[in-house]
Structure 1
Amino acid sequence: MTYSLTPDTNSARPQRVRFLRSLRRHPLGALALGLLLLLAAGAILADLLAPYDPTATDLGNSLSGPTGSHLLGTDALGRDLLSRLLFGARVSLTGTAQAVATVIAVGVPIGLLAGYLGGWVDRVAGGIIDVLLAVPGIVMLLVIVAIFGNNESVAMIALGVLGAPGMARVVRGSTIAVRNELYIKAARVSGLTTRHVLVNHVLPRVSGPIVVRASLFAGVALLVETGLGFLGFGAQPPDPSWGNMVADASQFVAIAPWMLVPSGATIALSILSFGLLGDAIRDSTAGRARGADRVRRKVAGDAKEPAATPAQPATETPDDSDALLRVRGLTVSVPAATGQADIISDVTLEIRAGETVGLVGESGCGKSMTGRAILGLLPQPVAVTGGRILFDGQDITKLGPRQLQRLRGAQIALISQEPVASLDPVFTVGHQLKEVLLRHQPGSRREIARAAVALLRDVNLREPERVMRSYPHQLSGGMAQRVAIAMALAGRPRLLVADEPTTALDVTVQAEILGLLRRLQRQTGMAVLIISHDWGVIADVCERAYVMYAGQVVEQAPVLDLFDGPRHPYSAGLLGCMPGRAARGDLLPAIGGRVPQPGSWPTGCHFSPRCPIARDDCTRDPVALNETAAGHASRCLYPLLVDEKVFSHDAR
C-alpha cells in the first residue's frame, strides 16, 4: 500500500476551545467557573489586591461594618476582613486542592485497573476499598491531626486518601460498563497497550463520573478544611484562614452578625460553585458520547451474537506447512454450576497466506467466539480449555498480554460487525486513526497525518480531510465501516478477521465493501477470515468455507463444492433457505427448531434433534469430522443421504 503525500489540512480544533464553547450552554456552570477563578486569582494576587496587612490591627475600628476604608468591615481586633479573606483563600483553597488531587491520584488508577483488568486485581482492590470504607473518616482524620500537630497539608492529603475508596468504587463501576464497548476491543485489537487504552479511551469515557465525584468531594474537603480551622487545627492566629475567620465571627455573632457574612458566604458560594461546575463539565463532555450512542444504536441495532454452544472432540488433521493460521481442536469453556460448559469444542480450521476463508452458520453457533479466541479477546470468565491456535507457527493460547498486544494490529486485525460502536465517540476519526498509525509506524506527526489521509483514500472515502475532522456519530454506516477497515489496515496485518462486516449495510453499500475487501487483499496479500451468516457474502469473496453449528465445525470444503454438493444436513438446510435457490412460486424451506444452548447439547450429533435424516446411531456417540472427498469433510454419519430438499417450508 502506498501513501500519498497530500498535505494534511485537518488540524482539529483544540479541545479547550470546544469545551469553553459548550460551557456557554450552561450559564450556571460558567458563573461557577468564573467565581472560582476569581477566588483563585484573589488568593494568588493577595499581596497586590489586599488593601491592608491581614494581621494589622486597628482597635479604633473594631467590629465595624462595611465602610469606605474597610469594604467588608473589620473583626474584633480591627483587622480588615477583605484582606483576611484574600489571604485566607490561599490556605483554604490550597488545602482543598491537595485533598482533591490526592483523591484523584489514588482513587482513579485503582478504579481503572480494578474495573478494566478484573480478576485478582479487582478482588484485591475491592478488599482494600471495603476496609477503608469501614474506617470512620473523621475519627481517623482527628487522630492524624493529633499525631502530626497543626500540619494542615498532611491532614488534607490524609482526607484525600480516606476519600479515595469512594472515588475508586465509582470509577470501577463506570470502567466495567465501558470495557465491553466495541471501540475498546477495537483499540486492543489494533495492538494498543493497556496503558494507552486506559488513558486515551477508557479514562475520557469515565471522566464524567470522575468530575462529578471530584466536584462533590471538593465541597466536602472545603467544609473539612474550614472545620479544622474552626477547631484550631489549621492555620494559627494571627494568620488567616476561612475556618478561623468563622471561629472568630462565632464569638461575636450576637453583637456583630455581619462579621460572619464575608467568610460564611464565600464558603457557601464556593461549595455551591464546585457542584455546579462539576455538573456543567460532565454535561459538556458527555454530549458527544450520548449523541454517538444514539446513532450507534440506530445504525447497528442490537446485533450482538448470542453465546455459542458446547462441542465434542474431533480428529486432528495434519499441520499444513503453508498455513498462516492453524486452529487445532480448539475448545472454549465458561464456568458452570456443574464445572465447565463448553461454548465451542474441537474446532479445527486453517487459513493460508493470501487466502479468503468463510466461517458460516446461524447466530449462536460460536462463529464470533472463535474469532475472539483467535484474537485473544475472550471475555472473562470465558477461556480456552483445550487445543491450539497457531499463527505462523506460534501458539497464541500460550502468549502473555504484552505478546498479544504486539501481535494484534501488526499481525492480526479485526473488522467489527458494529463499525460505529468500534469507534470511540469522544475523539475524531483522524485522532483515532493516527494513534493506531503511531503505534505501528513510527514517524513525524506530519508523516502520520499524511498516512492517515492516504489510508482513507485507499478505502474509497471521498473528502478524507473532512472525514478526519468528523466524529463517529457524524458518519453513515458505510463510511464508518470504511474507517474501521482503514484502522484495521493501519498496522499492515497478515491476517484480517472480518466479523459480519456487512450486516448493518444496505445491499449497494454491502457490494462496495466486499469489492473493497477483495481489492485490498490483492494489493496487500493478507489472509482474510470472513465470519458471516450470509451465504451470498461467502460465495462472493471466499475460496473455502467452514460451517459451524452448536460450537462445532460440521462441514468444510471449497465454496463451489459446498454449493454443488453439501455433505451435512445443516449445510444443506442453510443453502436451501437461500431465496435465490428457491424455485419461482415455491415457499422457502425452513430448518425447524433452534440452536441448543451450551450445556444442553445432544450426546451424539448436535444437529440430530433438527435433522430429518437422523437415525438412532446419530444420537449414541460423538460424531467425528471425516473426509468425504479431497478437501471436503463432514461431521455426518450419512453424508450421501444429504439433499437440500430434505427440509420443507413448513418445518418447525
Structure 2
Amino acid sequence: MTLPTEVPTAVEDVAPRSGVVRRFLRNPLGLASAIILALIIIAAVLVPVLGLPDPNAVNLRDAMKPPSPQHLLGADSSGRDILSRLLWGSRINLLGAALAVVIALIIGVSAGLIAGYYGGWFDSISSWFNNFTMALPGIVVLLAVRAVVGPSVWIAMAVFGVLLFPGFFRVVRGAVQTVRSELYVDAARVSGLSDFRIIGRHILTVVRAPVIIQIARLLSIAIAIQAGLEFLGVSDSSTASWGSMLNDGFRKITLNPILILWPALAVGLVCMALVLFANAVRDALEDRGKQGNIPRRARKATDAAHPQEQATSAGALQPESALLSVAGLKVAYGYGRTEKEVVHGVTFHVEQGEVLGLVGESGSGKTQTAFSILGLLPEGGHVSAGSILFDGQELTSLSETQRASLRGTDIAYIPQEPMSNLDPAFRIGYQLTIPLRKRLGISKEEATRRALALLARVGIVDPEKVFKSYPHEISGGMAQRVLIAGAVSCNPRLLIADEPTTALDVTVQAEVLDLLRDLQRETGMAVIMVTHNFGVVADICDRVAVMQAGRIVEIDDVDRILSQPSQDYTRRLLDSMLEDGPVRPYPFEDASSTDNTPVELPVSAEAKE
C-alpha cells in the first residue's frame, strides 16, 4: 500500500467533547458502568443528609435482624444498620483508593515520562528504584507501617500509593521509549519546541490510553487491598468500612451468611464498573479511525448536508448514469490543529462497465482515494469532506457495518502484494469458499464447485491441486490469480485493483492484464485500476485520471492522454516509461525540435527515504 508522506502520527490532545460523549454513549457497557459509579459516588457524598441511622450505633436488641422498614438491609451482629455502614464505608474506601492512585499516578507518570524521554542517569536510577519497589512485599510493608504509626487508613493508603507507582512507570516509560524516535518528534525538536511542550503535546497523547486503563486497574486493586487491610484489622475498627463489614460477616458466616454479601457485592461491583468505565473512556478518546466515529466538526462538508442532499449535489457534478461518483473528496489524518490533509478535493466518476486508470507516482494519493471508496483507510484516516456516491447511495454516511456489507459483493478489491494477502495457515480452497458461503448463502458443495470453476477460469491449469494447496506452495503469479478469483467470486459491480501487477514479472503481468480484461468484458463490471504504469493504462483502461500530490491534475480518454497530454506532470510520467532510450517526440511536436534531455521526475520524501 502506498502511504502518503508526512502522515501525522500524533492526534489532537483533547478530542472534541461532543464527539467523545457521543462515542461513549454508544457503548452500552460503558454507559451502564458510568451510571453505577455515579450512583455509588452520589450516595457516598449525600449519605450525611440521607437521614440514615448512626453507622456505629450499637443496639444488641436489633442484632442479626433481617431486612425491615427500620433497617432496609438488616442489622449486623452488634445491631448496627447495614445500609448506613455500607454507604458510610463507601466514603472511606473510595477516598482511600483515590489517594493511593493519585500518589502512584503523580510519581509513576512523571518519572516514566522523564526516564523514557531523556534516558541517561535518571532512567537508570528510576528503573532501579522501580525494581526495588516491585520487590517489596506490600502487605508486610503496610503491616509494618501500621505498627509504627497506628491504625490510620490514610497513612496506609498513601504508603500503598508509593508501592503502586511501578504500575504507571513501566507502562509510560515503555510507551515513551517507543515513540521518542518518531520523525514527528524530531521535527518538533527541529522547529524549536521546548522539551516540555513536546512531552505535553506529542508524548502524553501516546501514553493516554494505557494510563486510563492502568488507573482503573490500580483503583480496583487499591479498593480490594484496603478492604483486605481493614478485614485484617490494620485500620481503626470503630470506623465503618467495607473491610470491617467483611470481617464481621466472616465471623458470623454460619449464623447469617447474608452479612458478608453486601460488602462483597459493593467491592465487586465497583471494581467491575471501574474497569468497564475506563475501557469505554479509552475507546471514546482513541477510537477515531472510522468514519462513523469521527467528530462532527472534523467531517466538515461530509456531514454538512443530509445524505440525500449530498447525493443531489454530487449528481449535479457527475453523469447520472455513473456507477461511482466521487465529488470534492478530501482525506485527512488527525483532527483539529494536527489534521493533515493528504487528498485535496478529488472529483471523478466511473461508468457501468468502464475501466478507469488512477495514475500517479508514489505518494500521489491514489491508494488513499481507493481506500476511501472501500472504507478501509488506515487508522486515524477519515474522509474530511466530499461525497462518494455508489449507485446513488452516499457511502460516507454509512456505518462500518453497512460499508462492510458492500465489500466483496458490490465493491471488490485486488491488493498489491498477492502472497502477503493470503493467510498461510489455511488452504487456498478454504479462503475462497468461506466468502462464497457467507456472502451468497450457498452450501459448502456449491461453494467448492464455484471455487474450482473460478480457479479454472483465471487460468490455473490444475484447479483441484491449487484448491488443496497452502499459499506457500504456489507461485506469486498463481497467488495473484487466486486473489482475482476471490475478488470476482461474488459478482461485484465495481472492482478496485491496486497495482495488481507490480510484484509480478513481465510475462505474468501480461497474462494477468489479459485475464482482468476478459473478466471485465464477461461480467460488465466497472474497474478502477490504481497504477503508476502507463503501459498498464494503455493495455486495459478506457479513461485515465492523473493524480499529483493528492489532486487530480488531468482526466481524459486514454488515447488523448497518451498522445496529447495537456499537463507537464503527465508528460513527465509518460517520459519516465522510457528506460534507456531518448525521449520520443510527441505527435504534436516537431521531432527536430525535441529536447532529448532526460526529465528528472519529482521524488516524494517517502521515496527518498
TM-score (norm 2): 0.49
Q: Which has the higher helix share?
A: 2
TM-score (norm 1): 0.46
